[in-house]
Amino acid sequence: MRSLLRVVIVLAIISFAGSASAQKVQKIGHVDFAKLYAAIPGQDTIKAKYDKFQKELSDEFNKMQAEYTTKVDEFQKTEATLSNIVKQTKQKEIVDIQQRLEAFQQSASQSLQQKEGELTAPIITRAKKAISEVAKENGFTYIFNTTDGVLLFSENGDDIMPLVKKKLNLK
C-alpha cells in the first residue's frame, strides 16, 4: 500500500511538473517487475541449478560439521585420561575446525548470492530490455515498478543536479 502511495505521489509530481512546463506530453506507465520476471520461461532451470549448487555446499558443510562433532565427542570421552599437552592439541584442533566451519558458512553464503546473481542476470536483463523497448515504442517517458516504486525506465530528461547543487550552495 505504501509503495502504491509512493508511486501515486511521484506520478502526481511528475504530472504537475509536466503540465507546468507544457513542453512535452509525459506518458507514464508501470509494471509489476516481480510478476514479469516470474512469467519469463527458464525459472525451473534456474531453480534446479541453484538448488544443486546449494546442495553441494550443504553436503560439504555437513561433512565438516560431522568431523567437528566427532572430534568434540572423542575429546569429551577421553579428556580425563589425556595429558595437558595432548588435551591442548585436541582443543586446538576443535577450535580450528570450528573456525573453518564459520569461514565456510560465510563463504558459502557469498557464493550462493553470487550464483543467484549469475543465474538470474540473463532473465533480468531480458525483462529490462523488453521494458525499455516497449516504453520507447509506445512513447512512455517513465516506467515504474508497481511493487516498490523504483524507476525502471526514463526517457532522456533534464538533469537537475546543477540546479539542486546551486540551491544547496554546493560546487
Q: Which residues touch 154 (CB under 8 Å, ≥6 apart)?
A: 141, 142, 143
Nearest to 108, CA basis, from 158, 155, 157, 63: 63
Q: Are strands 28-31 and 142-145 parallel, antiparallel or unpaired?
A: parallel
pLDDT, mean over the chain: 87
Residue 1 confidence class, pLDDT cut points 50, 70, 90? low
The pLDDT of residue 62: 97
What is the Cα–Cα distance from 166 to 88, expressed in whole angstroms? 67
CA 89 to CA 79: how far, in whole Å? 12
**3-state class of 139 per DSSP?**
coil
pLDDT in tens, 62-113: 999 999 999 999 999 999 999 999 999 999 999 999 999 999 999 999 999 9
What's the grid cell of residue 93?
A: 584442533
Which pLDDT band holds residue 9 (cuts at 50, 70, 90)? low
Judge if pTM exceeds 0.85: no
